[in-house]
């Protein structure tokens, strides 16, 4: 089924205007949503606003918007005032600069839309896409929508273009706000972790390798309930919180990978240097376990010594 555009506009590229159609990237039918019902009669409920001071249901005509500038203190705005403040709606998506593809942090990303050509703009559309592919530069642009000025990033996506909405800098919390204590990394641990990561490395991300297991399980339960089957849903077991030895956990992780021999595959450096691993992990050098003596072999050796004497 062909995708339907949700809006139209045009990309302003210098003096070139490229008419485009906007499409959603999400598949709404893939999500599972629930409605709030009255337990007694199973009727879908309607949302109402109740004033906690008066206990009255407030109709929409009696509602006003206010900005809280101090605790329980508001400055009020009328609908006309807010409309006057809003950015005038424009279909123009104005490119302001081009930046390298690896210089836009994903922390700024929000919703995404596909852009398709409109009104005989195929040549200009493909020209912009091809220029960005060859230069490996992405377009930063801005446009007005829903009363706001929105910052976006435009990049090639397959044969077409994708528009990614961006947050402004003051909308992003810096990572420096987090309390992250320092920790000393041991060389042996780093080598094991590197080996584990390399074993899981793939040349590209493919979303079709994954599926939402929770949604799949929920759909199975929904189908069973529709069919009138009895369903028992047990809560998941809480994982045990216990202190683990980092080296042993890394070795066990390697051992679980397909194609690894029993006990896991130690990294080359570790295999040739048991003493260095012991020094790095703060313990004594590990010696191979001694094989318990075989009683039959010992008895045979004793008979041979007796016959010689």
**C-alpha–C-alpha distance, residues 225 and 222, integer Å:** 5
Q: What is the rounded average pLDDT for all residues in the chain?
A: 77
Q: Which two tokens stand for residue 131?
A: 């220029």
Within-domain flag for 63:
no
Within-domain flag for 262:
no
Q: How many domains does the chain have?
A: 1
Within-domain flag for 115:
yes
Contact 270, 281 (CB under 8 A): no
Within-domain flag for 112:
yes
Within-domain flag for 120:
yes
Within-domain flag for 164:
yes
**C-alpha–C-alpha distance, residues 123 and 21, integer Å:** 15
CA–chain centroid gap for 126, Å, is 30
Residue by residue, pLDDT tens for the chain (309 residues) are: 667 888 888 888 777 788 888 888 776 656 678 888 989 998 999 888 999 998 899 988 899 988 888 898 888 888 887 777 665 667 788 888 899 888 888 878 888 899 999 988 899 999 999 999 999 999 999 887 777 888 999 999 989 999 999 988 888 888 888 888 888 888 988 888 888 888 888 887 787 887 877 778 878 888 887 888 887 777 766 666 565 677 788 788 888 777 665 444 444 444 333 433 433 344 444 444 444 444 444 445 554 454 444
**C-alpha–C-alpha distance, residues 281 and 220, integer Å:** 48
Contact 137, 101 (CB under 8 A): yes
127-152 per-position pLDDT tens digit:
999 999 999 999 999 887 777 888 99
**C-alpha–C-alpha distance, residues 22 and 280, integer Å:** 56
Q: Which residues contact 227 (CB under 8 A, 6 or more apart)?
A: none
Q: Which domain holds residue 17?
A: 7-26+86-169
Residue 124 maps to which CATH number? Answer: 2.40.290.10
Closest C-alpha among 167, 165, 102, 162 to residue 128: 162
145-184 per-position pLDDT tens digit:
777 888 999 999 989 999 999 988 888 888 888 888 888 8
Residue whose token pair is 């009696």: 62
Predicted TM-score (pTM) of this structure: 0.58
Within-domain flag for 40:
no
Within-domain flag for 159:
yes
CA–chain centroid gap for 15, Å, is 38
């Amino acid at each position: 089924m062909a995708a339907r555009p949700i809006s139209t506009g045009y990309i302003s590229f210098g003096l070139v205007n490229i008419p485009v159609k906007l499409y959603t990237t999400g598949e709404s039918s893939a999500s599972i949503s629930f409605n709030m019902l009255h337990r007694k009669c199973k009727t879908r409920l309607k949302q109402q606003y109740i004033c906690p001071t008066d206990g009255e249901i407030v109709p929409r005509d009696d509602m006003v918007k206010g900005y809280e500038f101090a605790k329980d203190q508001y400055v009020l705005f009328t609908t006309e005032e807010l409309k006057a403040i809003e950015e005038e709606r424009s279909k123009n998506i104005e490119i302001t600069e081009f930046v390298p593809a690896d210089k836009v942090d994903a922390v700024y990303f929000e919703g995404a839309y596909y852009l398709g050509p409109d009104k005989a703009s195929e040549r200009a559309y493909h020209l912009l896409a091809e220029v960005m592919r060859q230069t490996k530069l992405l377009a930063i642009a801005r446009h007005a929508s829903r009363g706001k000025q929105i910052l976006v990033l435009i990049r090639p996506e397959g044969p077409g273009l994708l528009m990614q909405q961006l947050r402004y800098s003051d909308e992003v919390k810096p990572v420096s706000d987090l309390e992250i204590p320092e920790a000393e990394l041991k060389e042996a641990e780093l080598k094991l972790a590197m080996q584990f990561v390399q074993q899981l490395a793939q040349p590209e991300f493919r979303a079709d390798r994954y599926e939402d297991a929770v949604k799949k399980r929920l759909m199975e339960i929904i189908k069973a309930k529709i069919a009138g089957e009895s369903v028992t849903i047990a809560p998941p077991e809480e994982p045990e919180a216990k202190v683990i030895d980092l080296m042993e956990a890394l070795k066990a992780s390697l051992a679980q990978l397909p194609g690894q021999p029993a006990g896991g595959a130690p990294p080359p450096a570790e295999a040739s240097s048991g003493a260095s691993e012991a020094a790095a992990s703060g313990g004594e050098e590990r010696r191979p376990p001694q094989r318990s003596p075989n009683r039959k072999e010992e008895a045979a050796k004793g008979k041979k010594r007796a016959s010689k004497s």
